[in-house]
Amino acid sequence: MPAKDYFMTAQSAPTSDKKPVGFLTDTTLCIGCKACEVACKQWNSLPMDNFGFTASSYDNTHDLGATTWRHVTFVEQFPGEARPTSMPPFQSNWLMMSDICKHCVNPPCMQACPTGAIVITEYGTVVIQQDVCNGCGYCVPACPFGVPELSTLDNKAHKCTLCYDRLGSSLEPACSKACPTDSIQFGYTDELAQRAHRRVDELRERGVATAYVYGDQHTGGTGGIGGLRASFILTAPSELYNLPAEPELPQRKSVPGYLSTLAASAAFGVMMVLCLKK
């Protein structure tokens, strides 16, 4: 749905009736122009990156961070690696993807936040309230995608807000607005999911047998995350795009650790009792 149609519907509806919105990033349309990065920085008044030699191809921003909320990944595939079947095996291939906060349906960062600074907005997006964040950094290791980062400027956690201020002003997010190829598409998440699967079917009919959707509850939004509001169409293993194959809530790992610690403590207690009896 075009942005103007979405806002004509959403702005007139009560907050509780608003449908979740998000992004669909089609990597087959990305040309690596970085217009999304520039638009994100310009709108959000983010400082420039330290452009230096990264030894990472043309990927000069290298990763998402406290001052880089959009990041275009450049990955060069070499002969022998997984690639679309339509490409001859002896040719190299560029993978390009504009990465972003995934705006999880069940956000691990929000569960880890002790102050309630991280919230799900009326648009279904995930935002860090800067006036509530105390800079503890618990959200940083909680995110399986490595998105939030503590800023060296104010020692608080920062990440993409999905242009929350623009949504409230009936404007499309800056990055998708600036994308010249429609690689970044904005709209209702349920409609974007349908569009993504239609696009994958189309790509497979064209010979791109490796195309798939990353971001539903089966791929990318796994392990209790419940899906991603920012999904992707990929043509290679997700790890090549710096995306985990099976992300999960870190809290799921803490329970087995707690039980093993409890069992070890119980065993130690029994041994102490036996030793005292002797």
State the average pLDDT over residues 43-63: 75
- How do residues 217-244 score in pLDDT, each as one tens digit? 999 999 999 999 999 999 999 999 999 9
For residue 201, give the nearest of 231, 158, 230, 233 by alpha carbon. Answer: 233
Nearest-angstrom CA–CA distance, 94 and 196: 21
Take residue 97 and report the two structure tokens written for it: 């993807």
Q: Looking at the predicted structure, is the pLDDT value of residue 151 above 90?
A: yes
% of the chain exceeding 70 in pLDDT: 77
All structural domains of the chain with their residue ranges = 3-247
Q: Are 131 and 116 in contact (CB under 8 A)?
A: no
Question: What pLDDT was estimated at residue 11?
Answer: 35
Question: What pLDDT was estimated at residue 148?
Answer: 97
Lowest mean pLDDT among 6-10, 150-154, 173-177, 209-213: 6-10
Question: What pLDDT was estimated at residue 264?
Answer: 61
Q: How many CB atoms lie within 10 A of CB 27?
A: 20
- How do residues 113-129 score in pLDDT, each as one tens digit? 999 999 999 999 999 99
The DSSP symbol for 111 reads H
Question: Quick one: CATH architecture of 3-247?
Answer: 2-Layer Sandwich (3.30)
Nearest-angstrom CA–CA distance, 109 and 228: 13
Confidence of residue 76 (pLDDT cuts 50, 70, 90): confident
Give the mean pLDDT of the chain.
85
User: H or E stretch including 230?
Assistant: strand 230-234
Nearest-angstrom CA–CA distance, 278 and 274: 6
Q: Looking at the predicted structure, is the pLDDT value of residue 12 above 60?
A: no
Take residue 44 and report the two structure tokens written for it: 């959000």
